[in-house]
Structure formats: structure tokens, C-alpha cells
Amino acid sequence: MWYIITDEPMKILKVNTAAATIEGAPQMVEKHRSEWTAEDKNKANLDNIAKYIFYKTLDKNMFAKIKTCTSTKEIWEKLTQLCEGNDQTKENKLTVAIQKFDNAKMKQGETLAEFDEQFSDIIIELISLGKDYFNREIALKVMRALPREWDVKTIAMRESKDLNKLELHDFFADLKAYEFELGIRTE
């Protein structure tokens, strides 16, 4: 179904027996509706099914913006433009997301789980805007974003772990285990 959204509604074709073949391939022409098989009708209806899915999933505000579109490709292009914006808007969003990444710091009184959620949201936003960081860059950024009392743990992790292979969720899992140990020792 995705090709219906990204290309255009499917055309039902047949071999044109009246025309000569072009470079060994037969020439194709559109079938008249009266010639359609049940399978042809299903293929031709895919655009309507895709439009129906869009109509049912969009809220009233977004539906109002796409209701004049005649194909799912048009709907998709309109939604992409509305949600992602033009190239300048995308560039601005990326700049803001990079600034959020650069300025990320764990706040006083914030739990590691809260910081994990906030930082992961930034990474997801960056990825959706086409910006990727290496695992090492992300791990080092998190280490710099943690308060001073985490220095012992982050130094140990730098020396004992291959930061190039350390996934963000695994990194935070290690930190949360350490946070738990700290909590037990201070009680």
C-alpha cells in the first residue's frame, strides 16, 4: 500500500496487442473498467482504502487541511509539508534540536529516569530531523550532563566500556543501577 501513498493511484494496464513491441517489451495501455477482473478492482481501490485510513486517523483540524486532496499521494505530500515544513523550517528545527542536545544538563533534584526521558526525546527529535550522532558522542554528552557526584561512575564507565558500542538505553540502565546503589547506601 505504501507505493500508493508515495507514487499515485494504481493504473490497471494490459498489453496493447494492436501496437508493435518497443525494444522487445510489449506496449501497455490502460484497461477499460468493463475489462477489470476482481483482482484489478481490488488494486484500483487501494487509493480509496488508503484515503479512508487517513480520514479516520486525522483529527478534524488536519482533516480540514487535506479534504480537498484527490489522492493519497496528495494527502501525504500535504501532511508532510504541514508537519515538517519547508527546507528553511526543517533547518530551523534542526538548529534548535542541536542546541537542546548541546545544552542538556541533569537538573538539581531531577531523577535519572526523568533525565533519561528528556534526553531520549532530544535524540529522537534529532534522528527524525536527519541528524545522527555516534554512540560515543551521545555517551560522552550524557556524562558531561550529569552532576559532579556522578564523576566516579562516569570515569569508571569510560575506562571499562567500549563507548562506541554502548547503546543509549544500556548506558542509562547502567547509570540507573548505580543510582539505585547510591540510594541504598545513603539510607
**Per-residue confidence band for 21, with pLDDT thresholds at 50, 70 and 90:** low
pLDDT tens column, 77-100: 999 888 877 788 888 999 999 999
Q: E-assigned strands of the chain?
A: 13-15, 28-30
Burial of 64 from C-beta contacts in 10 A (0-12 / 13-18 / 19+): exposed
Q: Render pLDDT for 24-75 as a digit per residue (tens, 0 to 9).
A: 677 888 888 999 999 989 888 998 999 999 999 999 999 999 999 999 999 9
Whole-angstrom Cα distance, residue 82 to residue 132? 24
Q: Which residues pair with 28 in a beta bridge?
A: 15
Please write the tens of the pLDDT for every residue from 105-135.
999 888 889 999 999 999 999 998 889 899 9
Q: Quick one: pLDDT band at residue 186, thresholds 50, 70, 90? A: very low
Q: Is the pLDDT of residue 141 over 70?
A: yes
Q: What is the pLDDT of residue 163?
A: 87
pTM of the model: 0.58
SS3 166: coil
Q: What is the pLDDT of residue 20?
A: 61
For the chain, percent of residues with pLDDT exceeding 90: 40
pLDDT for res 187: 43
